[in-house]
Amino acid sequence: MKDIMTAPFLIDMIRTTTNMYNHGWDERNGGNISVLLDEGDVSAYLDTNTVLRTIPTGFSAPELDGKYFLVTGTGKYFKNAQYDPENNLGIVRLKDGGETAELLWGYKDGGRFTSEFPAHMMSHVARLKVDSENRVVMHCHPANLLAMTFVHMLDEREFTRTLWQMCTECIVVFPDGVNVLPWMLCGTNEIGEATAEKMKTARLVVWSLHGIYGAGRDLDETFGLIETAEKAAEIYMKIAHLPRINTITDSMMHELEERFGVKAREGYLD
């Protein structure tokens, strides 16, 4: 059996958590990631018949029964994943309709998966119904997107249009736009359910006054989604107090749709 520390999915997770921390998106123990793994990939590195312990999840997700996930741990600092992966990360398999997680590797200090695990799993269910190749759910606290929720109306169409107008690439990278939730108590099934509902129509969901959720087919794609939206928010926060002389118009965005073969969310462009 291969050494788990050489597994590409683990190496990618370590690189991503480190990169996110270095970007300033995941201060202290802020933020979390979950990656849906193929059983064949896991079994090449772990004996899937050996369960270290079981952890109740506190929710039901029958669609994910038997699925494997690599997940960041609760209370863990992203900056430490590169130095002690087995303590800061874990691999679990869901059973009992998603109500129980079997720990196969990680959380060696007796810990468990992120407190946002319900929101992650519910978002996985929602995105898999839209895109069967979705594998990643990522949550973090990018400063400019967070700041933007304090000063910009939270209407999803207007929020999206503002981001699209900040960078030429935005409508190409996230033509489905950005959905927005009002402030809600984190770590609850309620915010998980609300996020999953928003994930049905967009891969980016802003948690007002808190952070953002992103979903994608791999870690690079999901990181890139958030990175692009955060860059747009940074530009907005730099110019929001100034008179705008130039902007990316709807006509220009229609040109981008045609050039790059994307389609903006229905009703978001004039």
CB 145 within 8 A of CB 234: no
pLDDT at 222: 98
Are residue 89 and residue 120 in the same domain, yes or no? no
pLDDT at 154: 98
CB 59 within 8 A of CB 112: no
Are residue 172 and residue 121 in the same domain, yes or no? yes
- Domain edge (last residue) among 65, 92, 114: 114
pLDDT at 241: 96
High-pLDDT (> 90) share of the chain, %: 99
Helix (H), strand (E), coil (C) string for 14-49: HHHHHHHHHCCCCCCCCCEEEEEECHHHHHCCCCCC
pLDDT, mean of residues 60-78: 96
Find the domain containing 237 and state its range: 116-270
pLDDT tens-digit map of 97-115: 999 999 999 999 999 999 9
CATH number at residue 55: 3.40.225.10
Q: Indicate if 116 belongs to the active site.
A: yes
pLDDT, mean of residues 70-98: 97
- Domain edge (last residue) among 80, 114, 148: 114
- Domain edge (last residue) among 114, 140, 157: 114
pLDDT tens-digit map of 227-259: 999 999 999 999 999 999 999 999 999 999 999
How many Cα neighbours within 13 Å face the side chain of 51? Answer: 11
Are residue 216 and residue 237 in the same domain, yes or no? yes
Please check the confidence at residue 1 and state whether its pLDDT lies above 90: no
Q: Is the pTM of this model over 0.75?
A: yes
Residue among 27, 39, 63, 116 flagged as catalytic: 116
pLDDT tens-digit map of 199-216: 999 999 999 999 999 999
